[in-house]
Structure 1
Amino acid sequence: MEKILVTTDQSANSKSAIRFAIKLANQRKAELVILHVYNLLKPFKWTEKAFIHYTAQFCEKTTKELLAFIAEIYSGIQEPEINYQLVLVSNSDVVEGIRDYASKHDCAYICISTRGAGTIKKIFGTHTAKLISTSDVPVLCIPSTYRLKPLKHILYASDMTDYENELKRVVSFAKPLKATLAMMHISYPYEFAFDKELAEATLKKKAAYKVNLLMPERNITATLLEDIDKAIKSAKPSLLVLFTHQSRSMFEKLLFPSTAEAYSFYGRLPLLTFNKQEDH
């Protein structure tokens, strides 16, 4: 059975990811794993036995708190209650703890909350940005202010370099949800112009799924982010899909230039990122 992993630090910000993961697990008939990464430092004067006892007490207390935290989230949503696995992992590096667990337990997706509008650090936080740039498992980033709703329309932004392989992975996410799917490519004036109907028929045949092709023109007087933002506002998707190279500096330079102001869709739109290098 497919596994969806969602992380929580028991903060209010993490509730949106848990709500989203519950709904997604229901829709995909997947197993839900709720993960909490913690780190305890052993006092120098403590014996190993004393520290093991303290750790056991800490985990018992934290488990009770997490169960109450999750129950509170369930009480606020209209979703069928599903069985989930609650896991506590000890690791001094939160991202490493999440990534290692997801990889070792064959999780299909990692779901994590983001912090809403603002600069890149405010939007994604250091944990989310690092997870996107290092995880082999696809990452779902859910804004902390996101209101739970059906995933009806998925927008896949493509640079067309490996769209056939990428599209298969996007379809595998969209199909169980019965969501409509659009593939968007920001085209430059010198690029070959596709015949839209012929291209969509080809995409449908290759992907075994209906795909709407969007080819908004690149405005060279605007940043690429501004063009993407404009296209997203027009398409009004439920979720945006991006494929990223696993270089944090490249990810930030391409998507979040330090001089650019925050774009509105990052504060409200769930984002699914796949690792480009995973397919090669």
Structure 2
Amino acid sequence: METIIVTTDLSVNSKAAIRFAINLARARKAQLIVLHIYHVLRPTIWSENAYQVYKQSIINQTEKDITVFVKKIINSMNLSDVNFRLIMKDHVDATEGILEFIAAHTCNYICIGTRGAGAIKKIIGTHTSRLIIHSSVPVICIPSGYRNRPFKRLLYATDMNNYEAELIRLVDFVRPLQAELRMLHMAAENEFILDTASAEESLEKKMNYKVEVVNHQRNVLYSVLQEINIETKQYKPSMIAFFTHQNRSLLDKLILPSNAAEFSFYSQIPMISFKKG
């Protein structure tokens, strides 16, 4: 059975991610884990015993609060058959705690709420962008203002490098959702433009799933993300998919950020990011 993880800090921003994770788990018949990273500070004057008693009381209360929090979300969705497992992990850094957990446990997708970030946070890195850069598990970013709606179509932005292997993973994701899949590539000046009809016919045979292909010359007046945004406004996808390079140097990441990490700061629709390669 697949496992889907959704993180929460009991904030309003995490509600949309929990709703999305619930629907995804139901569609994929997967186990749902609600993950909460916590850390209880210890006053220096306290004895170890006093601290442990206090810490356990905080853990017990937080478990109750999160259980009520998630059950209220389930009730608001008019569902009664949703089972979830709550896991609490102690770590001083929330992102590192999440990464340690998914490294030690088998899971298929991780959902996290995002509300964007200002200029300073872009440089330091939000929880979401750090997960995208470091996670071996596909990260699904859900904007805090997102509202549940039928999942109809996914837009896959590609550089055409290893795209067939990437499409296999995307088809596996969209098939249970019975969603459309569109592959978008903006070709550089010296790149070959695909015959879209032939490409679609070939891909449908290989994937056993219909893939719409959009391939056109890049407009040098726009950045890649600007062109993706133009396509997004026209196509109105339910989600955007990226495959992210995670092995670039820190300097590379600062000069030319990952499309996925950068997009997560201002996207108004859900995004899924896979590790490339």
The amino acid that maps onto 2:106 is D
CA shift for structure 1 position 225: 1.6
Question: Counterparts of 1:207-222 in structure 2 under 5 Å?
Answer: 207-222=207-222
2:45 equivalent to 1:45: yes
Give the length in aligned residue pairs.
Answer: 271
CA deviation profile, 1:142-184 (whole Å, cap 9, x unmatched): 0000011121101111100111111111111111111111111
| Partners of 2:186 and 2:68 in 1: CA distance | 46
TM-score (norm 1): 0.89
Question: Counterparts of 1:231-270 in structure 2 under 5 Å?
Answer: 231-246=231-246, 247=248, 250=252, 253-254=256-257, 266-270=266-270
| Partners of 2:213 and 2:37 in 1: CA distance | 41
| Partners of 2:140 and 2:179 in 1: CA distance | 16
| Partners of 2:2 and 2:264 in 1: CA distance | 32
Q: State whether residues 8 and 36 of structure 2, in contact with CA within 8 Å, keep that contact through their aligned partners in structure 1.
A: yes
User: Is the alpha carbon distance of 1:150 and 1:116 closer, same or farther for their aligned partners in structure 2, counting shifts above 3 Å?
Assistant: farther
CA shift for structure 1 position 83: 0.7
CA shift for structure 1 position 216: 3.3
TM-score (norm 2): 0.90
Task: Provide structure 2 residue ranges, at least 5 long, that are not aligned to the other structure.
Answer: none
CA deviation profile, 1:19-70 (whole Å, cap 9, x unmatched): 1101111111111000110011222232222222222111110011111211
Task: State the partner residue of 2:5.
Answer: 5
| Partners of 1:264 and 1:34 in 2: CA distance | 21
CA shift for structure 1 position 85: 0.1
Q: Which moved more, 1:75-84 or 1:267-276?
A: 75-84
Task: State the partner residue of 1:76.
Answer: 76
Task: Provide structure 1 residue ranges, at least 5 long, that are not aligned to the other structure.
Answer: 257-261
SS at structure 2 position matched to 1:10: coil
SS at structure 2 position matched to 1:186: strand
Give percent identity, aligned residues only.
45
Q: State whether residues 21 and 111 of structure 2, in contact with CA within 8 Å, keep that contact through their aligned partners in structure 1.
A: yes
| Partners of 2:267 and 2:192 in 1: CA distance | 34
CA deviation profile, 1:239-269 (whole Å, cap 9, x unmatched): 000011114665563457xxxxx98994421
| Partners of 2:173 and 2:266 in 1: CA distance | 20
**After the TM superposition, which parts of structure 1 deviate over 3 Å for at least 4 consecutive aligned residues?**
78-81, 116-122, 247-252, 262-267
CA deviation profile, 1:81-120 (whole Å, cap 9, x unmatched): 3110011110011111111212322110110001058659
Q: State whether residues 117 and 126 of structure 2, in contact with CA within 8 Å, keep that contact through their aligned partners in structure 1.
A: no
Q: State whether residues 74 and 81 of structure 1, in contact with CA within 8 Å, keep that contact through their aligned partners in structure 2.
A: no
Q: What RMSD in Å do the two structures reach over aligned CA positions? A: 2.4
2:111 equivalent to 1:111: yes
| Partners of 1:177 and 1:263 in 2: CA distance | 23
Q: State whether residues 229 and 265 of structure 1, in contact with CA within 8 Å, keep that contact through their aligned partners in structure 2.
A: no
User: Is the alpha carbon distance of 1:19 and 1:250 closer, same or farther for their aligned partners in structure 2, counting shifts above 3 Å?
Assistant: farther
Task: State the partner residue of 2:136.
Answer: 136
Q: State whether residues 128 and 264 of structure 2, in contact with CA within 8 Å, keep that contact through their aligned partners in structure 1.
A: no
| Partners of 1:180 and 1:30 in 2: CA distance | 21
The amino acid that maps onto 1:147 is R
User: Is the alpha carbon distance of 1:172 and 1:250 closer, same or farther for their aligned partners in structure 2, counting shifts above 3 Å?
Assistant: farther
The amino acid that maps onto 2:35 is L
